[in-house]
A and B are shown apart, each in its own frame.
Chain A
């Protein structure tokens, strides 16, 4: 059946089998291979993307369920302005090793920071608790999120200060 999905702001219309998983639609049909597949059972979170602004595990969503909806993937994190602070922080704080869980982790962490700009360590750990990383022992992922939060909070303050000046 025909579906239209907006992925990272671009509309894609494709004919798909009703059983096609969203992760395969993204990877195979749209060639967006940054979203990974890891377990089949919603346990590992390598496949996390955003569906209408909320993190979702794309291995347990059918592509047809995304019809008419907006998807954001890891490829949509970087903008013309540069890397998303969460991407930069993962590199700065060594929040990744093999890189396989990283896209899903970053999508979840980006959503966390949008909702909670100053999360505690426990809140960060809880946010990523539905995802598995076999390399980092999670320590540097937590540090990455804290670093991104600090950068964004600094940016907000400087932006507020600038607005104060212009006002």
Chain B
């Protein structure tokens, strides 16, 4: 391992592209100020709850206080008598409309409003529509619900016990809480590898239930126009087109009579992919009252009832030779899916993309067996910037590698370096069947080691240990898999995961790009304008990006799983190239030469060998709309559409190193340094990429040290407010030290890979590995709160998901 003196003092040239904004707008890629910021810094963003529609009513949801109970009766008469209440809707009302249950995105059904039983604390029971938000809340207190409490199933490990109460007795013939069994990899080959391996390490680990908790909660405003029959839904959705199709399927409304409009979104992180009962109730409320109905959940409702994340109980094993060559990995997973299987992921993959868990290493065999169970907890499971459960996969393999290193007395950095995939091995097909597109993992890892000053850190650690001080160094190397489809293998509810794009150049040479994906803060208005700018030589300032409104944009699956740049970004580049070829024909007509004789130079065409015979895009755009005679078969105007069906996922990677100090007396962890070297291929706007990484790194601090949604034996949610569900603040986060390597994706039109979730996926194991390295404990589950660290040091780690000792 090498280090550089400068790197440790933080003044090294880490090779990072400049994240300082340029003085003038770049004609393509480069750091530039975000176009959307102009409104956000003035408080002029337009978020869901900012929207007021004339005549709009407000609503609130009555929720179950119990985790599992039979509903004996609901009396809404007092609420209905409230002078400001316009409607009270119960499960019975919805049942009359055939809407009491709705399909989930994972081949299950979910109660919109409970009719028979409540199955988790916070489940939706009744919906009140009133003149204002305070009155709607008041009326909730006037509804009387009589429950017969039932024993809840809280511990997933007991969900399949013969005596466990059956949660989903609504499903005909169901006699237990078993949801699915699913496996990937070659079981026999993996077993054979393990049988002959020199060394094997195993570890039980939990990736606890957490929540994306965007700053803006979920909400919608449904407005049904009785005259036209058109339903307009302003809503916090990361996937407007998928939502429209689901509304059509749920409500039986014709799709062309549904308009979904996603306004500015205050963070999503996966929380705003699914369809929630509140959205459906708002639609029914609007139909019943004839007025627009706004529904906005409060923070507690957000945490208790909308998409949770993770909740994977994993038993992992890793096999190696005695000299440290990794051979194989196998894992058994118990997946807690809550009361309804509401995961939002490619429909054919019940564990999402978890089966990339062989990670970044050259391994001969791997196998996983996943069992999903129902419990009396809220539905969800795939959310929180997880790239469809790659968070769990990376945590598993990066913890196992550390456990193996500890068991054998190996240095965890050397063990990783010895086994990382080398650049000449790409494209590399893993034992689990994924074809990784590109990477130079040792170079990426070495860069992180250099920036961190790994050897010096170990020396410092030895000195501190001699003084009785607890310092830890944690490493994680991750491979992400982002940009779902291709449509052949990945779909959601039968909708293939491909994205459309439409580009129109106006006569004056300005452009409008229409996208199917939807930003929640990622800066699409800027980045996508830069993609088109790079292809056509039109300034990003002159390119308007339209997204979020299904009446104004082409079909596509939306923004989650870091798929915007890999899929919609590719669509933007491809549609720009189509426009460029149309422009070539127009330029040829203008210059009276053959189109083949023209050469493209960013911003226009010129005749080969004669740069003076040239036409700019602005001139070409005007000519395309003018009286210029175009060749037969060539339409006028300058526009194009395309659908991009990705041939493969893109595979970004990264090397993360975390340094912590632990107070042995209190268990308090201080993250002193965090080095993150990301390789996400070509960076369109390095400033935005770096910002995305920063946010994900904070997620890692949160998950490793603070965030958990635990439950007591009665099923009470113990993380139902920001006082209980702890998110990292500026005080827990260090000043991030970033680096980069750039290995373009060979199959992506501009060589870019997704990056939005890389740091969230990659950082938790680095933090956990660092803390456990500091305290000398083989394993303890997240979150490593001071109490838990202290307990782990005493050899008595906690079951963090149950909040019991």
Task: Determine if B695 and A34 form an interchain contact, defined as CB atoms under 8 angstroms apart.
Answer: no
A34 to B735 Cα, complex, angstroms: 29
CB neighbours (8 Å) of B300 from chain A are 40
| A52 located at the interface, meaning its Cβ lies under 8 Å from any Cβ of chain B in the complex | no
CB neighbours (8 Å) of A31 from chain B are 52
Interface set, chain B 520-564, CB cutoff 8 A to A: 520-523
Which of B42, B522, B727 meets A87, CB within 8 Å? B42
Task: Determine if B33 and A136 form an interchain contact, defined as CB atoms under 8 angstroms apart.
Answer: no
Task: Determine if A134 and B215 form an interchain contact, defined as CB atoms under 8 angstroms apart.
Answer: yes
CB neighbours (8 Å) of A37 from chain B are 49
CB neighbours (8 Å) of A113 from chain B are none
CB neighbours (8 Å) of B266 from chain A are 36, 98-100
A34 to B698 Cα, complex, angstroms: 25
Which of A91, A92, A130, A132 meets B215, CB within 8 Å? A132
A41 to B687 Cα, complex, angstroms: 33
CB neighbours (8 Å) of A106 from chain B are 41
| A46 located at the interface, meaning its Cβ lies under 8 Å from any Cβ of chain B in the complex | yes
Task: Determine if A41 and B721 form an interchain contact, defined as CB atoms under 8 angstroms apart.
Answer: yes
The chain B residue with its CB closest to the CB of A134 is B267
Which of A78, A121, A134, A136 meets B735, CB within 8 Å? A121
A44 to B733 Cα, complex, angstroms: 16
Task: Determine if B264 and A99 form an interchain contact, defined as CB atoms under 8 angstroms apart.
Answer: yes
Residue among B40, B690, B696 with most chain A CB within 10 A: B40
In the assembled complex, the CB of A9 is this many whole angstroms from the nearest CB of chain B, namely: 15
Map CB proximity to B onto A122-160 as digits: 1 under 8 Å, 0 otherwise. 001110111111111111111000000000000000000
| B410 located at the interface, meaning its Cβ lies under 8 Å from any Cβ of chain A in the complex | no
Map CB proximity to A onto B699-723 as digits: 1 under 8 Å, 0 otherwise. 0000000000000000000000111
A162 to B554 Cα, complex, angstroms: 57
In the assembled complex, the CB of A112 is this many whole angstroms from the nearest CB of chain B, namely: 12
| A83 located at the interface, meaning its Cβ lies under 8 Å from any Cβ of chain B in the complex | yes
Task: Determine if B41 and A100 form an interchain contact, defined as CB atoms under 8 angstroms apart.
Answer: no
CB neighbours (8 Å) of A6 from chain B are none
Interface set, chain B 624-642, CB cutoff 8 A to A: none
Task: Determine if B730 and A19 form an interchain contact, defined as CB atoms under 8 angstroms apart.
Answer: no
Q: Contacts A98-B267, A106-B41 given; indicate if A137 touches B733 (C-beta within 8 A).
A: yes
A32 to B44 Cα, complex, angstroms: 9
Q: Contacts A19-B134, A43-B723, A78-B42 given; indicate if A94 touches B687 (C-beta within 8 A).
A: yes
Task: Determine if A91 and B37 form an interchain contact, defined as CB atoms under 8 angstroms apart.
Answer: yes
| A17 located at the interface, meaning its Cβ lies under 8 Å from any Cβ of chain B in the complex | yes
CB neighbours (8 Å) of B40 from chain A are 96, 99, 102
In the assembled complex, the CB of A83 is this many whole angstroms from the nearest CB of chain B, namely: 7
Task: Determine if A43 and B722 form an interchain contact, defined as CB atoms under 8 angstroms apart.
Answer: yes
Task: Determine if B33 and A91 form an interchain contact, defined as CB atoms under 8 angstroms apart.
Answer: yes
A99 to B216 Cα, complex, angstroms: 10
Which of B38, B133, B523, B727 meets A132, CB within 8 Å? B727
A98 to B731 Cα, complex, angstroms: 21
Task: Determine if B43 and A134 form an interchain contact, defined as CB atoms under 8 angstroms apart.
Answer: no
Which of B43, B133, B695, B722 meets A135, CB within 8 Å? B695
Which of A83, A92, A97, A121 meets B691, CB within 8 Å? A97
The chain B residue with its CB closest to the CB of A132 is B727
Q: Contacts A91-B34, A98-B521, A140-B691 given; indicate if A103 touches B43 (C-beta within 8 A).
A: yes
In the assembled complex, the CB of B71 is this many whole angstroms from the nearest CB of chain A, namely: 27
Which of B38, B42, B269, B694 meets A75, CB within 8 Å? B42
CB neighbours (8 Å) of A101 from chain B are 215
Task: Determine if A141 and B730 form an interchain contact, defined as CB atoms under 8 angstroms apart.
Answer: yes
Task: Determine if B731 and A129 form an interchain contact, defined as CB atoms under 8 angstroms apart.
Answer: yes
Task: Determine if A137 and B698 form an interchain contact, defined as CB atoms under 8 angstroms apart.
Answer: yes
Task: Determine if B730 and A138 form an interchain contact, defined as CB atoms under 8 angstroms apart.
Answer: yes
CB neighbours (8 Å) of A135 from chain B are 267, 521, 691, 695
| A38 located at the interface, meaning its Cβ lies under 8 Å from any Cβ of chain B in the complex | yes
Task: Determine if B41 and A92 form an interchain contact, defined as CB atoms under 8 angstroms apart.
Answer: no
| B118 located at the interface, meaning its Cβ lies under 8 Å from any Cβ of chain A in the complex | no
The chain B residue with its CB closest to the CB of A78 is B42
Task: Determine if A134 and B695 form an interchain contact, defined as CB atoms under 8 angstroms apart.
Answer: yes
| B697 located at the interface, meaning its Cβ lies under 8 Å from any Cβ of chain A in the complex | yes
CB neighbours (8 Å) of A92 from chain B are 21, 33
Task: Determine if A35 and B33 form an interchain contact, defined as CB atoms under 8 angstroms apart.
Answer: no
Map CB proximity to B onto A32-67 as digits: 1 under 8 Å, 0 otherwise. 111111111101101000000000000000000000
A100 to B695 Cα, complex, angstroms: 14
Task: Determine if A75 and B43 form an interchain contact, defined as CB atoms under 8 angstroms apart.
Answer: yes
| B749 located at the interface, meaning its Cβ lies under 8 Å from any Cβ of chain A in the complex | no
| B3 located at the interface, meaning its Cβ lies under 8 Å from any Cβ of chain A in the complex | no
In the assembled complex, the CB of B703 is this many whole angstroms from the nearest CB of chain A, namely: 13
Residue among B43, B697, B721 with most chain A CB within 10 A: B43
A134 to B733 Cα, complex, angstroms: 12
Residue among A33, A73, A100 with most chain B CB within 10 A: A100
Map CB proximity to A onto B290-307 as digits: 1 under 8 Å, 0 otherwise. 000000001110000000
Residue among A31, A37, A39, A83 with most chain B CB within 10 A: A39
In the assembled complex, the CB of B301 is this many whole angstroms from the nearest CB of chain A, namely: 10
A90 to B39 Cα, complex, angstroms: 12
Task: Determine if B216 and A100 form an interchain contact, defined as CB atoms under 8 angstroms apart.
Answer: yes
Which of A39, A91, A136 meets B694, CB within 8 Å? A136
CB neighbours (8 Å) of A5 from chain B are none
A38 to B47 Cα, complex, angstroms: 12
CB neighbours (8 Å) of B697 from chain A are 137
Residue among A35, A87, A131 with most chain B CB within 10 A: A87
Map CB proximity to A onto B23-38 as digits: 1 under 8 Å, 0 otherwise. 0000000000110111
Question: Can you offer 27 A-B residue contacts whose CB atoms are under 8 A?
Answer: A27-B50, A34-B42, A36-B47, A37-B49, A38-B215, A39-B721, A39-B722, A40-B721, A41-B299, A41-B721, A43-B721, A44-B299, A75-B42, A83-B41, A90-B37, A91-B38, A96-B37, A98-B264, A99-B40, A99-B41, A103-B43, A134-B214, A134-B695, A134-B727, A136-B691, A138-B730, A141-B730
- Measuring CB to CB, which residues of chain B are less than 8 angstroms from any residue of chain A? 19, 21, 33-34, 36-45, 47, 49-50, 52, 133-134, 213-217, 264-267, 269, 298-300, 520-523, 687-688, 690-698, 721-723, 727, 729-731, 733, 735-736
Closest 7 CB pairs of A and B: A34-B43, A98-B521, A100-B266, A99-B40, A137-B694, A74-B43, A43-B722
